[in-house]
Amino acid sequence: MQTIPTSQKIYSVLDRVSATMVMLAMVVSGASVAAIIAINSVDTLGRAFFTKPLTGAVELTELFLAMCIILAIPYAQRMLSHIEIDMFIQKCSVGWKKFFVLISIVLTILVFFMLTIQSYESAKDSVVTFESSAGYLRVPVWIGKISVAIGFGIALFEASVQLLAWFLFGRLTTTKHTQVAH
Q: Where are the domains of the chain?
A: 6-169
Tell me the CA distances in angstroms from 70 to 89, 125, 159, one per residue in order.
Answer: 28, 19, 15
Pick from 15, 172, 165, 169: nearest CA to 84 = 172
Could you tell me the end-to-end alpha-carbon distance of the chain, in angstroms, rounded to an integer? 42
C-alpha dist (Å) from residue 177 to 117, 164, 172: 29, 17, 10
**What mean pLDDT do residues 156-181 have?**
79
Question: What is the predicted pLDDT for the residue at 173?
Answer: 77
What is the percent of the chain with per-residue pLDDT over 90, rounded to a whole number?
Answer: 66
How confident is the prediction for the chain on average, in pLDDT?
Answer: 90
> Mean of the pLDDT values across residues 130-147?
89
Pick the residue with more confidence: 121 or 4? Answer: 121
- The pLDDT, as a whole number, for residue 176 is 60
Name every residue whose Cβ is closer than 8 Å to that of residue 77 and which is 6 or more positions away in sequence.
Answer: 22, 108, 155, 158, 159, 162
pLDDT reported for residue 180: 41
For residue 60, the model assigns a pLDDT of 92
Segment 6-35, tens digit of pLDDT: 888 999 999 999 999 999 999 999 999 999
pLDDT tier for residue 41 given thresholds of 50, 70 and 90: very high
Q: Is 134 helix (H, G, I), strand (E, B) or coil?
A: coil
Q: Which tens digits make up the pLDDT trace of 92-137?
A: 888 888 888 899 999 999 999 999 999 999 999 999 999 998 877 8
Is the pLDDT at 148 greater than 80? The verdict is yes
CB 34 within 8 A of CB 181: no
Residue 171 CB neighbours (<10 A)? 14
